[in-house]
Amino acid sequence: RIAGVMQMFMTPDSTVVTLETLESAVYITQWHLNHFIKKIDDFKEVSDAEKLLLWLEEHLVSNKSYDFRRNDIIKNGPYSLRRSDRLRPALEKLQQEAKVQLFEKNGINYVKFTGARMTPEELAERLNIPLSSRGVFILNNSPKSG
């Protein structure tokens, strides 16, 4: 169609689309498709795992620990993840990527945020924990084994 319109514009009396016009139309179409694909990628929706990762990072200081109660995430986390059926797959994906560890303690389900950009030392400083107490704080927030 594009080639036909181009041919009619260049030679209104012609009934044949030339190879040159067809190739030009294909080139124009490919250019537009490639730019359209780039624009679509810019509007890609953030995954549930990415939303949760951002939320954990943003709430690390207010939580005062790398250990988040899973129930608190359901109550106060990203709105789209406030149902267990949406939260569970996001947590499992982050666990596979070694960014969280899931564990239970005294009947309470926890999410240990192991993929934080903030180091334990930085967190202790932001929480105004005295230097003499930081060693205990850091040990308490190291990843759980096995």
Rounded distance, CA 100 to CA 115, Å? 6
Span 103-141, pLDDT tens digits? 999 999 999 999 888 888 888 888 887 766 555 555 455
Structure-token match 């514009």, residue found: 9
Q: Does the pLDDT at position 90 exceed 90?
A: yes
**Phi and psi angles of residue 132, each rounded to the nearest 5 degrees, phi first:** -65, -25
- Residue written as token pair 């999410």: 111
- The full DSSP string for 65-84 is SSEEEHHHHHHHS-GGG-SH
Question: Which of 56, 74, 73 lies closest to 65 in space, CA to CA?
Answer: 56
Return the pLDDT at 34.
84
Whether the model clears a pTM of 0.75, i.e. scores above it, the answer is no
